[in-house]
């Protein structure tokens, strides 16, 4: 019990990166909420599941906490206990009407994921969906990125999933242990002062001067790097990337969403990537790129290259709830053999990752913490316009998992769009690579066609490496 608690209890203050994601919620186009759809072989025991989740919220106190912003942005937001916490506001059950097929489930998950969180309550919601065809059920997990990234979310799920169907439920945590973990000896006012002093020394004085200038004229950001310090140069390098997204089709953005799912075989895809001299990440991005290239050709708007982003894990033993960086790269979408595309993307990925070592998402977030929210959201929108589509690869369980007596058959992640045309997130599970394709309806007019091209690209990549 103590080990589980210590693994997930983080600082009561958000990191700069988490604070940035929280502030960006002011613009619904930039929401970082993500979701996961677990298909189950049968209906689980709901009462058992509810008790298990109540235990999980005791083991992971963050799930019982709400965000409190510090006035004047003097310090990062903090987490405080929700005195009115009610598990039934966060663990729900619904039944799908006929025909209760996969598309009906995906439509429901799209609505749930897109619905904004109530900011005065803990930022998560689990919905058990009953009544699927063939006696199956599903769990839709919705969570804000400030609680966890994809990899941390997988770790969190181990608190309510089992490795066997009829596993004995773990004991409820010892109240004294929980009280000891939740006890905070620091005075809130003193913490704010400490944070304010720390923030004053977090960036050099030259950076602060540039920040003041940028407040008056944000348009000068791309040219601000010449006289700035190394920290500012790192930030400027990221903000100075103003190369527009290149798709002639995906020019509009909206709050409309549509979700499709696809699956690839884990072993064959991994073997293909190895045979071609690259990694599974490269194979995944190649599949996405091949699909979008075909999509543009099919709709009469061929394009030679698009701009993609990819989430890279930076997790270590001391990492908090979020440990990732984003890299952007130009990927070839013209009509070339898929093995050539793979090698070109491998080279582009290597270059992007290497360049990202001198840049820091944390530095960008620290810089943003000094700016008014209106300017931060405007800058984020500007950066979103430089990317056509986003990808993310999350490592899941290689063995079967069970939820209150029901076996997980597949896991489909729903990644946040944050202003791009679509997000394709891969989650490995039990010899499969399950992919969630979350699209902006105003940009991707034919999402089912794009999903079909993804499936075809999987087959072609595996075949070319045989």
Taking 60 as the threshold, does the pLDDT of residue 98 lie above it? yes
- 119 phi/psi in degrees, rounded to 5: -70, -5
User: Using an 8 Å Cβ cutoff, are 441 and 254 in contact?
Assistant: yes
- 187: exposed, middle or buried (Cβ count in 10 Å: 0-12, 13-18, 19+): exposed
Can you give the pTM of this predicted structure?
0.82
CB 411 within 8 A of CB 396: yes
Whether the predicted pLDDT of 241 surpasses 60: no
Residue 360: per-residue pLDDT: 52
Q: Using 50, 70 and 90 to split pLDDT, how confident is the model at 105?
A: very high
List for the chain the helix, strand, coil content (%; round to 5).
45, 20, 35
| Most confident listed range (76-85, 102-111, 323-332) | 102-111
Query: Is cis: bond before 52, omega within 30 of 0?
Result: no
Q: What average pLDDT is seen over the chain?
A: 82
- pLDDT at residue 113 greater than cutoff 50: yes
Torsion angle, alpha carbons of 425, 319, 419, 421, to 10: -20
For the chain, list the domains and their CATH numbers. Answer: 203-239 (no CATH), 257-392+429-464 (3.30.559.30)
Quick one: which of 28, 50, 29, 183 has its CA closest to 119?
A: 28
C-alpha span between 17 and 363 (Å, rounded): 9
The answer, yes or no, to whether residue 457 has pLDDT greater than 60, is yes
Beta-carbon neighbour count of residue 93 at 10 Å?
16
Q: Which residue has the higher pLDDT, 130 or 316?
A: 130
Q: Is 309 helix (H, G, I), strand (E, B) or coil?
A: strand
User: What tens digit of pLDDT does each residue of 371-383 get?
Assistant: 777 777 888 788 8
* Strand ranges in 18-158 using DSSP code E only, listed in sequence order: 34-40, 65-68, 78-81, 91-95, 124-130, 137-143
Tell me what pLDDT residue 180 has. Answer: 53
Question: Coil, helix or strand for 396?
Answer: coil
Residue range 100-112: mean pLDDT, rounded: 95
Long-range contacts formed by 312-315: CB under 8 A, 24+ apart: 312/353, 312/356, 313/149, 313/151, 315/151, 315/152
pLDDT number for residue 321: 52
* Sequence-distant (≥ 6) Cβ neighbours of residue 47 within 8 angstroms: none
Q: Is 50 exceeded by the pLDDT of residue 173? A: yes
- Looking at residues 273-280, what average pLDDT do you find? 94
pLDDT digits (tens, 9 = 90+) for 410-430: 999 999 998 999 999 999 999
What are the C-alpha distances in Å from 366 to residues 23, 228, 328, 369? 13, 15, 20, 5
User: What confidence tens digit (pLDDT) does each residue in 328-369 have?
Assistant: 899 999 999 999 999 999 999 888 877 665 555 566 666 666
Q: What are the residue ranges of helices labelled H in 15-70?
A: 16-24, 46-59
What percentage of the chain exceeds 90 in pLDDT?
56
Handedness of CA 92, 96, 102, 108 (dihedral sign): negative
- Give the model's pLDDT for residue 7: 42
Q: Indicate whether 207 pLDDT > 80.
A: no
Given this model, what pLDDT does residue 154 score?
79
Average pLDDT over residues 82-93: 96
Residue 215 has pLDDT above 80, yes or no: no
Provide the pLDDT for residue 254.
96
* Cα angle for residues 152, 237, 387 (degrees, 5° grid): 60
Higher pLDDT, 23 or 166: 166
Residue position matching structure tokens 């270590």 = 316
- Answer for the pair 361, 326: CB distance below 8 angstroms, yes or no: yes
126 pLDDT exceeds 70? Answer: yes
pLDDT range class, residue 239, cuts 50, 70, 90? low
Question: Which tens digit of pLDDT belongs to each residue from 53-69?
Answer: 999 999 999 999 999 98
Q: In this predicted structure, what is the pLDDT of residue 448?
A: 98
CB atoms within 10 A of CB 440: 23
Write a three-state SS string for 176-222: HHHHHHHCCCCCHHHHHHHHHHHHHHHCCHHHHHHHHHHHHCHHHHH
Phi first, then psi: give them for residue 39, nearest 5 degrees.
-85, 130
Q: Looking at residues 97-107, what average pLDDT do you find?
A: 92
């Amino acid at each position: 019990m103590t080990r589980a608690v210590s693994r997930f209890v983080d600082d009561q203050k958000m990191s700069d990166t988490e604070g940035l994601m929280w502030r960006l919620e002011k613009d619904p186009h930039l929401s970082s909420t993500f979701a996961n759809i677990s298909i189950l072989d049968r209906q689980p025991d709901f009462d058992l599941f509810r008790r298990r989740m109540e235990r999980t919220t005791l083991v992971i106190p963050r799930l019982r906490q709400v965000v409190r912003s510090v006035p004047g942005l003097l310090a990062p937001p903090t987490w405080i206990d929700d005195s009115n916490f009610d598990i039934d506001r966060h663990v729900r059950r619904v039944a799908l009407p006929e025909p209760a097929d996969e598309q009906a489930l995906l439509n429901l998950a799209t609505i749930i994921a897109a619905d904004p969180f109530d900011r005065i309550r803990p930022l998560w919601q689990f919905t058990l969906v009953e009544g699927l065809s063939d006696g199956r059920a599903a769990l839709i997990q919705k969570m804000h990125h400030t609680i966890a990234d994809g990899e941390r979310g997988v770790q969190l799920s181990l608190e309510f999933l089992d490795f066997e169907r009829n596993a004995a439920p773990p004991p409820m945590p010892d109240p004294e242990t929980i009280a000891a973990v939740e006890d905070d000896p620091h005075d809130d006012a003193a913490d704010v002062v400490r944070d304010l002093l720390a923030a004053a020394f977090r960036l050099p004085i030259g950076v602060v001067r540039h920040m003041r200038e940028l407040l008056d004229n944000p348009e000068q950001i791309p040219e601000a790097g010449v006289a700035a310090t190394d920290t500012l140069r790192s930030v400027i390098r990221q903000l100075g990337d103003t190369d527009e997204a290149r798709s002639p089709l995906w020019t509009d953005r909206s709050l409309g969403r549509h979700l499709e799912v696809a699956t690839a075989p884990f072993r064959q895809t991994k073997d293909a990537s190895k045979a071609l001299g690259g990694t599974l990440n490269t194979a995944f991005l190649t599949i996405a790129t091949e699909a979008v290239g075909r999509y543009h050709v099919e709709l009469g708007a061929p394009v030679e290259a698009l701009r993609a982003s990819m989430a890279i894990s930076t997790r270590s033993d001391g990492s908090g709830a979020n440990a990732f960086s984003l890299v952007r790269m130009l990927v070839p979408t013209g009509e070339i053999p898929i093995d050539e595309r793979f090698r070109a993307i491998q080279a582009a990925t290597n270059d992007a990752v290497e360049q990202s070592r001198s840049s820091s998402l944390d530095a960008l977030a620290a810089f943003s913490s000094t700016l008014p929210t209106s300017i931060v959201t405007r800058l984020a929108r500007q950066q979103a316009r430089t990317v056509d589509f986003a990808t993310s690869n999350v490592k899941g369980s290689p063995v079967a998992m069970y939820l209150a007596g029901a076996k997980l058959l597949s896991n489909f992640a729903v990644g946040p769009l944050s202003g791009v045309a679509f997000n394709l997130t891969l989650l490995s599970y039990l010899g499969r690579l399950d992919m969630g394709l979350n699209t902006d309806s105003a940009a991707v007019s034919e999402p089912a066609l794009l999903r079909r091209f993804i499936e075809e690209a999987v087959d072609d990549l595996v075949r070319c490496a045989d």
